[in-house]
Structure 1
Amino acid sequence: MHIIFFTHPDFLNHQSMPRFTRMLARGMKERGHKIEIWAPKPTAFNLPFPASLKKWLGYVDQYVFFPMEVRGRLKKIKQKTLFVFTDQALGPWIPLVRDRPHIIHCHDFLAQFSAVKQNSENPTGWSGKQYQKMIYRGYTKGKNFISVSRKTKRDLHYFLPANPEISKVVYNGLNRDFSPGEAQMMRQFLQEYFRLELSSGYILHVGGNQWYKNRSGVIEIYNSWRHKYNQSIPLLLIGQSPDKNLEQKHVDSPYKNDIHFLTKVPDEVVKTAYSGATVFLFPSLAEGFGWPIAEAMASGCPVITTDEAPMTEVAGEAGFLISRQPKNSVNIENWANDSAEVLNTVINLTQQKREEYIGKGIVNARRFDQDKALDEIERIYGMVLSKTKN
């Protein structure tokens, strides 16, 4: 197969999407296919204008210059070529190849739901709604889709005006080598690396400041656990620097000296952090898949996550579940208290029970094997291309 991947431009500084594209491109190349990657160049973006205009200049590159470039390049591309959109958010480009073999990878529809006022935690402004409408008009022209979870597939079908020709689910495959390590050895390394006292263990969260990651909820649960149970191991939040609201939540915590935001942490150190953690706390409000759940389990760490799809799809029978944080702020304290009870249970598991759950997690994480995922994706790519006449 000749496969052309459409992906987000580098100048957007995305993290997960470029990694996903590299996984697909490398995997298909290793399987003997001819690979190209098409993405906008930062022509307008690099013009000497104020930073406040960069987003809009980036839109010019993505939705004016790039489509013009694609139309010219398509004239030289044979009909028996597969066009792969690595994210449904690339929807505005899909009409360019709607009548040629194509497939769209779908990750999550959180922004789409926010734009139609179905995520009250994330209100969307006028310009954001227009942008999501443009994305919607694009991906609904598509005919073939691969979703990263059953939840994402349900959301896709909610928005599509008609059933597509192909709609499959392929779970993400872990794209880094996660494996268990000796906890005390990992903690000793991290203690020296971060200059923190971690010998008695720590509670871990990995994620960014996106509203659905619910980092503030992590602190709420931690505060409640410390208050109710009078125990004191640190909380480590690996990811972006806290935004203003999260920083205030930190400042207001009576346990702020034991809450640590760790930024720009190398991948290898993140893997070590999973292996050394007492528990991984992931009270996400929503996800497309939920990478960190599988990563933590593969690393031998017990996981607490939200009792809603797709978190339940990824955690399977191996995770400890808590309810989703309520939208009504009046009920958050009760939610945090109930969640703290689950947290305390996991922290105080007997060694035998802990090893039992760790074993379940490792087995569960094996479902998310990258090679198996790529094999299934390759099979679906072939299905799409086989429908095309020479």
Structure 2
Amino acid sequence: MKILLIGNYQLDAIQSMDIFASMLENYLTQLGHQVRIIRPNPWFGKMISSPNSLRKWLGYIDKFVFFPAQLRQALSWADIVHICDQGNAVYVKYLGNTPHVITCHDLFPIRSGLGEFPEYQTGWTGKQFQQMVMRGLNRAHKVACVSEQTKSDVLRLCSLSKSAVSVIPMGLNYPYTPMTAIESQPRLKALGIPQNCQFILHVGANHWYKNRLGVLSIFYQLILQLQKPEFYLVMVGKPMTDEMRQFIKMHNMTQKVIELIEIDNENLRAIYSVATALLFPSLYEGFGWPIIEAQACGCPVFTSNRSPMNEVGGEAAIYIEPDQPKETAEEIIRNLPTLKQMKSKGFINSQKFSAEKMISGYIKLYHQAINEKHDNKVKTI
């Protein structure tokens, strides 16, 4: 097949979406398919170096004035178009009769625009844009959701038929496996993690639903109850917010919290392999990649007893209430002596989420979209 992938605008720097598009390109190419990634070129967006509101509006020129013409030119080559991020569903109206698939990771921006999240308010322009996204989703040939929870949201909020919506879980985006102590210890030392210490790990960005302030609250309760001097929290991801730094300072945790900003996959594999456990108390998720990444490295997981976290973690994770720091700390302490028993369960569970299985699901969906379009064309002749 000739597969045209629509990727994200690079200046938006949505790392997880860029990783997903690269996964599709690499695996589909290995299987003999012809693959091209097309994305808006950042001509106007590059006119201003630092991110601000003007740069956002200049980016809209790149995305919605220039990119549609670029997309139309590419369509004649493709057998199937795959919009890799539902946020780009606005481009569906330019696809004409070309069979296409959209991957829906979550509907948080749409749900926020509808007022479903009191903790996060969307502005007027954001609401208008999300209405455009919704119109694109409603016109899609096929929508692949990354979890049952996302599928439930799509069927609840969109006008698509059930036959147009399916679930294709995310696969591991890197060959995560346990790293030996000989290999991992030098890496941890270079990252500033004390030798042979115990530490809780969190991996995530600063989106409000990631609950990173909640991570700090849970850890504070944990050190109050545990009273172990050599116990740390390692936070991997984007730089902390001012609010997070103030919390750390106010609770005298400066020496206990280690911040690691956007480290590479091998260093992350080393940390997963040594961590006491991953703490992933998200309020909401589309899928939750760190859950299976940790499990694949033999790292026990504490995560929210909410969908899709409990869908992804299966029987191999320990579930907590993300908005109850004291009770969560107690649950972690209660399970510390038996965490090693979770490792084998984690290995087994993570194997359900292979990249190969994900790609197989997409290839099947591509054929369905192409065949249904062909059948509909035959019926009209």
Describe the SS at the equivalent of 2:46: coil
Q: Percent identity?
A: 31
Describe the SS at the equivalent of 2:134: helix
Deviation, 1:58, is 0.6
Distance in 2 between residues matched to 1:51 and 1:178, nearest whole Å: 33
Whichever residue aligns with residue 378 of structure 1, its letter is: I
Equivalent residue runs for 1:128-207 within 5 Å: 128-163=126-161, 165-182=163-180, 184-185=181-182, 188-207=185-204
What is the number of residues matched between the two proteins? 373
**Is 1:381 aligned to 2:366, yes or no?**
yes
The residue that corresponds to 2:55 in the other structure is: 54
Distance in 2 between residues matched to 1:16 and 1:134, nearest whole Å: 22
173-182 vs 143-152, which moves further? 173-182
Out of 207, 218, 222, the residue aligned to residue 221 of structure 1 is: 218
Compared with structure 1, are the counterparts of its residues 186 and 214 closer, same or farther at alpha carbon in structure 2 (3 Å cutoff)?
Answer: farther
Deviation, 1:12, is 2.0
Compared with structure 1, are the counterparts of its residues 312 and 301 closer, same or farther at alpha carbon in structure 2 (3 Å cutoff)?
Answer: same
Whichever residue aligns with residue 230 of structure 1, its letter is: Q
The residue that corresponds to 1:248 in the other structure is: 246
Distance in 2 between residues matched to 1:247 and 1:98, nearest whole Å: 50
**1:198–1:234 contact (8 Å) kept in structure 2:** no
Out of 323, 331, 334, the residue aligned to residue 345 of structure 1 is: 334
Equivalent residue runs for 1:1-390 within 5 Å: 1-47=1-47, 52=52, 53-74=54-75, 76-77=76-77, 81-163=79-161, 165-182=163-180, 184-185=181-182, 188-232=185-229, 233-325=231-323, 335-347=324-336, 349=337, 353-389=338-374
**1:186–1:276 contact (8 Å) kept in structure 2:** no
Whichever residue aligns with residue 199 of structure 2, its letter is: Y
**Deviation digits for residues 236-277 of structure 1, max 9, x if unmatched?**
001111112112112112333101211131221011000000
Whichever residue aligns with residue 257 of structure 1, its letter is: Q
Distance in 2 between residues matched to 1:7 and 1:260, nearest whole Å: 33
Distance in 2 between residues matched to 1:12 and 1:40, nearest whole Å: 11
**Deviation digits for residues 275-328 of structure 1, max 9, x if unmatched?**
000111010111000000000011001100000000001100010101131xxx
Distance in 1 between residues matched to 2:184 and 2:322, nearest whole Å: 30
**Deviation digits for residues 310-348 of structure 1, max 9, x if unmatched?**
0001100010101131xxxxxxxxx1110001111233x
**Cα RMSD for the two superposed structures:** 1.8
Distance in 2 between residues matched to 1:293 and 1:49, nearest whole Å: 35
Whichever residue aligns with residue 371 of structure 2, its letter is: S
Deviation, 1:70, is 2.2
**1:223–1:254 contact (8 Å) kept in structure 2:** no
Where structure 2 has 5 or more consecutive residues not aligned to the other structure, the ranges are: none
Deviation, 1:152, is 0.8
Whichever residue aligns with residue 35 of structure 2, its letter is: I
Distance in 1 between residues matched to 2:73 and 2:346, nearest whole Å: 49
**1:187–1:201 contact (8 Å) kept in structure 2:** no
Compared with structure 1, are the counterparts of its residues 147 and 163 closer, same or farther at alpha carbon in structure 2 (3 Å cutoff)?
Answer: same
Whichever residue aligns with residue 169 of structure 2, its letter is: Y
Describe the SS at the equivalent of 2:45: coil
**1:279–1:346 contact (8 Å) kept in structure 2:** no
The residue that corresponds to 1:331 in the other structure is: none
TM-score (norm 2): 0.93
Deviation, 1:43, is 1.9
**Deviation digits for residues 143-200 of structure 1, max 9, x if unmatched?**
2111111111111111212415422111111021111234x54663244212332413
Distance in 2 between residues matched to 1:236 and 1:128, nearest whole Å: 34
